[in-house]
Amino acid sequence: MTHRDEIRFLLNGRDIVLPDVGASQTLLDFLRLDRRLTGTKEGCAEGDCGACTVLVGRLHNNRLRYETVNACIRFLATVDGCHVVTVEHLSGPDGRLHPVQQAMVEHHGSQCGFCTPGFVMSLYALWMQTPEPSEAQVETALQGNLCRCTGYEPIVRAAVAVSRYGTPASDHLIAERDAVTTRLTALRDGRRIVTGPAQDRAILPASVDDLATVLTENPEATIVAGSTDVGLWVTKFLRPISPAVFIGHLDGLKNIEITDAGLTIGAGVTYSECQDAITGMFPHLAAYWDRIAGWQVRNMGTVGGNIANGSPIGDTPPVLIALGAQIALRRGNDRRSLPLQDFFIDYGKQDRAPGEFVETIHIPQATAGQLDAAYKISKRRDEDISSVAAGISVSVEGGTIRDCRIVYGGMAATPKRADAAEAALRNQPWGEAVFRAAAQALSDDFSPLTDMRASADYRMLSARNLLLRFYLEHDAATDTPVQLATA
């Protein structure tokens, strides 16, 4: 089968066919510059402000799902086979305001108005999923949208009231769901896409096997899953990424498997897609998961990418290592698997050979007596990068700590286990004294850095205190709160 050299998608209900789409072309620039759909704004070009929020509808297991994304860091080539919906598509053909828009107007949810289209799109996606959201659900949906004028109060009031202005049943995206599904299905031809000029080549493999082939042919290619990191290489650092191999569309990397042995997720699974499965099996991750970036980024970014990019401040590695996660890598038809903790060798250096890619992540089922916690400390509670993150897993048997895994992010050049602190706990009786000793031992494990997120002293002190928090939280004798109440 020959390759396809154009991308095909729907934009606000219209068919679009684009030849020669460069790997680094962003969806936002396409919308604003090529199509003059200027309702979508650029606020930061790094996926942090939400002014560029659009919906991308895509088929997953033949079901059409609309999600908010940041158009600024979404690469145009990756909307192949999708339905892109911008703010211009919300009001009906008669020009009447959409219920979300009406609610925003009547609750005075806009002041300068620049962030407003992005808020409207996030609230639209929320209303499709949850027509009558709680304030807490609204806040979670709006983690990726910044407003500098209103203080958010009127926006939240509008969001909670949207259902008074109309129901999703009357929404045209929902009414046209079957028709759009049919049209998107027709766009799928199972072919590899190779497009863009030679110096900015975009490749969308046809399948996971094809991905293995593509990477064997292009071992130095940039692998791009959700582009929540690679997007910034382009928009912020103007770095070439060619050839870029996009994998976010591959169904074969989207599997989520729950067995007695544990949870296995494909490397292309987004934070949003695995949220229910992972927090269902590991309830201690529920609050933590909602603090990974904002909604748009959780809809784009993948756990696999968070691991593969090797950042010392990625949110998932510390908590996954604490749970004893394994990852499976593949090159061509060769597969190997290793404990996640061994994947991180040094700053910017991972145990991944050229042409090799992360295929799946496996998290074993918790054992009896295993106490787990996941903590994140950041300057701002939500949508922030951690100054310190911790995954703590302690197995207690008859009052004695049998085993433990204590893993920190933000404390070293890689996500790293606290060997000395673990040693201070292992085979010791459960009690405050041993946790305090373990906390002291952290200075043998880490020499953190000072940077704009936190000082070395704060990192060390709060890392120590997180061990104390873990103790207090799991100690039967503590009857006062040891963490701030969440919403």
Q: Which of residues 351-390 bind other proteins (CB under 8 A)?
A: 377-385, 387
User: Please, which of residues 238-257 interact with other proteins by CB under 8 A?
Assistant: 238
Q: How far apart are CA 126 and CA 160, in angstroms?
A: 10
Closest to other proteins by CB, 265 vs 374, is 374
With CB under 8 A as the contact rule, the residue among 263, 360, 453, 460 that binds other proteins is 453
State the nearest-atom distance from the C-beta of 51 to other proteins, in Å: 6
- Which residue of 34, 153, 257, 432 would you call a contact of other proteins, by CB under 8 A? 153
69 binds other proteins (CB under 8 A): no
Q: Is 296 among the residues that bind other proteins (CB under 8 A)?
A: no
In the complex, what is the shortest distance from the CB of residue 166 to other proteins, in angstroms, rounded to a whole number? 14
Interface with other proteins, residue 401, by CB under 8 A:
no
Kindly write down the DSSP assignment for every residue of 381-415, as one continuous string. SSS---SEEEEEEEEEETTEEEEEEEEEESSSSS-
- Min dist CB 361 to other proteins, Å, is 25
Q: Write the CB contacts of 419 (distance below 8 Å, at least 6 apart in sequence).
A: 445
For other proteins, the binding residue among 53, 68, 78, 150 (CB under 8 A) is 150
Prior bond to 243 cis, omega within 30? yes
Report the alpha-carbon distance of residue 424 to residue 437 in Å, rounded. Answer: 7
Contact flag: residue 233 with other proteins (CB under 8 A): no
What is the rounded end-to-end Cα distance, in angstroms, of the chain?
53
Residues 45-64 that bind other proteins (CB under 8 A): 45-46, 48-49, 51
Bridge-based pairing of strands 388-397 and 416-417 is unpaired
Q: How far is the CB of 414 from other proteins (least distance, A)?
A: 21
Determine, following the binding rule CB under 8 A, whether residue 17 of this chain makes contact with other proteins: no
Q: Is 472 in the site for other proteins (CB under 8 A)?
A: yes
Smallest separation (angstroms) from other proteins to the CB of 271 = 17
- Looking at residue 187, its amino acid is L
338 binds other proteins (CB under 8 A): no
Stretch that binds other proteins, among 8-16, 151-159, 241-249, 323-331 (CB under 8 A): 151-159
Shortest Cβ 46–other proteins spacing (Å): 5
Rounded distance between C-alpha atoms, residue 383 and residue 10, angstroms? 30
Stretch that binds other proteins, among 56-64, 197-205, 419-427, 474-482 (CB under 8 A): 474-482
* Minimum distance from residue 151 beta carbon to other proteins (Å): 3
For residue 45, the minimal CB distance to other proteins (Å) is 6
Q: Confirm or reject binding of residue 210 to other proteins (CB under 8 A).
A: no
Q: Report the length, in residues, of the chain.
A: 487
Q: Segment near other proteins (CB under 8 A), from 301-309, 364-372, 405-413, 456-464?
A: 456-464
7 binds other proteins (CB under 8 A): no
Beta-bridge partners for 429: 400
β-bridge mates for residue 203, sequence order? 194, 245
- Least distance to other proteins from the beta carbon of 28, Å? 12
The answer to the question of residue 261 lying near other proteins (CB under 8 A) is no
Contact pick of 175, 186, 345, 487 for other proteins (by CB under 8 A): 487
Q: Report helix, strand or coil for 297.
A: helix
The yes or no reply on residue 146 touching other proteins (CB under 8 A) is: yes
Q: For other proteins, which residue of 62, 337, 400, 455 counts as binding (CB under 8 A)? A: 455
Tell me the closest approach of the beta carbon of residue 335 to other proteins, in angstroms.
35
Helix (H) or strand (E) holding 346: strand 344-346
Cβ atoms within 10 A of the Cβ of 447, count? 11
**Type of residue numbered 94:** D
Residues 83-102 contacting other proteins, CB under 8 A: 86-88, 90-91, 97, 100-101
Buried b (16+ CB within 10 A) or exposed e, 383-400: bbbbbbbbbbbbbbeeee
Residue 268 gets the label, from left (phi > 0), alpha (psi -120 to 50) or beta, of alpha
Rounded distance, CA 104 to CA 291, Å? 26
In whole angstroms, what is the distance from residue 297 CA to residue 70 CA? 7
Choice from 76, 85, 142, 411 touching other proteins (CB under 8 A): 142
228 binds other proteins, rule: CB under 8 A: no
Count the Cβ atoms, other than its own, within 10 Å of residue 344: 22
Does 287 bind other proteins (CB under 8 A)? Our answer is no
Restricted to residues 102-131, the positions that interact with other proteins (CB under 8 A) are 104-106, 108-117, 120
Applying CB under 8 A, the site for other proteins has a residue count of: 89
The correct pick among 140, 222, 386, 395 for binding other proteins (CB under 8 A) is 140
State how far the Cα of 395 lies from the Cα of 455, in Å rounded to an integer. 32
Maximum C-alpha span of the chain? 71
Backbone angles phi, psi at 350, to 5 degrees: -120, 160
Phi, psi torsion values for 127, nearest 5 degrees: -65, -35
Residue 475 makes contact with other proteins by CB under 8 A: no
The three-point CA angle 302-284-393 to 5° equals: 95
Q: Could you tell me the smallest distance in angstroms from the CB atom of residue 286 to other proteins?
A: 15
Provide the CA 429 distance to its chain's centre, in angstroms.
38
